[in-house]
Structure 1
Amino acid sequence: MRLRLTRVTTVVLVLGLVFAAGLWWVFADDGDKRVTAYFSLAVGVYPGSDVRVLGVRVGQVEQVTPRGERVEVTMTVAADAPVAAGTGAVVVAPSVVADRYVQLPALARGGPRLADGAVIPAERTATPVELHELYASLDSLVTALGPDGANADGALSDLLDTGADNLRGNGSAINQTIRDFADLTRTLSGSEDDLFATIEELARFTDVLAGNDGQVRQVTGQLAQVWETLSADREELSAALHTLGVALGEIQGFIRDNRGAIQSNVDKLAATTRLLVDHRGELAEVLDGLPLAVENAYNAFDPRSQTLQGRANLFEYLPLPVTGG
């Protein structure tokens, strides 16, 4: 009886452990996210390869599966990794022979993060250039520039020789040019707002010119005619400028020799001008009445007798009678 009870207890304990393990396996959360990325190729990427963010390992590659012209790479990423939802994936080769890893370059920075089950399409993935592809490109370039290609008639050699002759002895000048260009770049870097504003104003000016193309062509044509006229009369213009230069020299000498008299006349002119300003009211009245007086004098002139004729009312000068009431 005791042996049977012991067997029953053992079976119950085993079943309980199995049930607990199943529940743990079903409901346990390891905190990792599964992410799938598609690459054009995945040379050097294997299950167990690192998945990194800013060079820090945040997960690993779980599975690499060919899918036609693409390669499907399944990865696990730590739940607390600050990876942006729209991140890409890049296969990084630290050196020629080192194992490669997958880099997730975009950080969340407070935005939405990469979700569990996310898929990164091939448009957002990149792989390094393989060594054999680099060698093939170099071979194609050397062949194209070699004796069977661009240098078949020695054209490339002549170009290099000419370039060497032109650059020989100009190292200091080239160095100074590069330094000046660097200074210019730093200056423009600190004035990008003014530079862009200038470019915008030039764009507006260009738009105005484009909108008034007819008037611009007309002005350009008129300027061309002016320059043609000046070109046709350049001898007369040259003589006139020469004469003007001589006259200006004489005027300068006259002013130098008569500086005192000119200053005295200018002072007198200033006094006369001040007098006119002080009596500008009377002067304005005279100028207002002068045209009428001239017209009356013209109308009073008798051309047959060559005399001025007029009529006066002397009664206007008699005193008015005083009346009392």
Structure 2
Amino acid sequence: MKTLRRVAARVPKPVNGVSRSTAGLLILVLFFAFVAALYNKERITNTVAGMFADTTRVQAEFSRDYQLRDHKSDVKLGGVIVGSAIGGEPSDGGSWIVTMQIDSEAADKLGSSPSASVRPTLLLGGNYYVELRPGGGGEFDGETIPQERTSVPVELEHVLAAVGSEEAKEGIRASVGQLDGVLRQGGADALENLLETAPDVLPATGDVLEATRGTRPARDLPELVAGFQSAADALTQREGQLGEILTSLEASTAALDEGSAPLAEAASTLPDTLRTTRAGLRDLQPTVDQLISTAESARPSVRELDGLLAELDPVLERTRPFLENLRPLLDQARPVVEQLVPVSDESTRVLRDVEGPVLDRLEGPISDTVLSPWEGSGRYAGGGSSGNPLYEELGYLASRGADALSWNDGSGGHSRLSAGIAANSVGGSGTPKSLQQYLATLGLASPGPHQNDGDPLATPSLPTEGGGSR
């Protein structure tokens, strides 16, 4: 009020009929307008920016209205303020739709599937802001960010409200007491060391924690926790099961430790093995291609073979006793076969010796002579006119010679000559030669002076005691 009085005292006297009261009222209105503008400067700034600056409006659907103030709560992207929340309204499904006004340049970085979350400025609360996170590889289409990609924080008061039982409160008291004991036994020093090293570690830890939320913060981490819960339930379903698993794991790691050298050697040779395997598979590819092309044409044969094998099973079943009886016989035949092997080797050597000139001579002139028809030539011309092969004539000769030498007397065996007595025998009417002529032909009588030298078949004269012929 003193300020207003000072301002009113300094107001000049009425000019042109304007009274001092009117001037004071005008100053008072201007003052309240200034205070209202100062109080709503964020709204005015956002309205002016929406009218003249390059901005984009983005909407996000949250599960509930969470302490966001219109035109006062900031919107950040990557920790940088890019706009503010300008309003919120409930949806038909009970969720809360928040409208944000951000720079168009920041909107171009959101991607096709951005997400949003409400975060406190301080650890224990305070002011809240909306954190936008880009997602997807495309461009933001301006649609409302769905509730599946939004989240709100869980405050300590909600956690404490959930702890309503005495057992839970007693557990919290015990935890606080144990924490105090840990701090007294050197935990405070460790905490101080942690606080000294935390500034270098916290940014990377923040990135890790952010990554654990996944691309769907409202679903990925809860599903992961639910999966861990299911695994824990399965491990603790039977008492002692987890201990057995750890014992088996210890034995497995001990075995791996003992075999570390062979494993390291195998790992060192694995690249060469893989290269060799790759080359072998590459060489095998043409065979596989041919097998694939052949398999289609072989399919009908395989179907027929299936029926054949089905019919062959009874035959094999009946053959089994025979094969079982054949086994002792094969065992007894083994020594014979073992003795036959040297004989076959010796026979092979003999046959190899026979090969060459011997077989050529036997297959050449000898076989030609033996198989040729026998015909006399020279002084034996006219003989063998029957055309029998030589080996048959030789067989007949041997047979008749054996018959001629089959006579025996007191002096031993001797040959004989048989004179046939028949119509064409010596002196017979059908014989053109006489006995003298046969003897002359055999060289047993010399021809006489009255022999017809020109006729070899003439009857010779037999010698007499006086040297004449009869």
User: Normalized against structure 1, the TM-score is what?
Assistant: 0.39
Larger Rg: 2
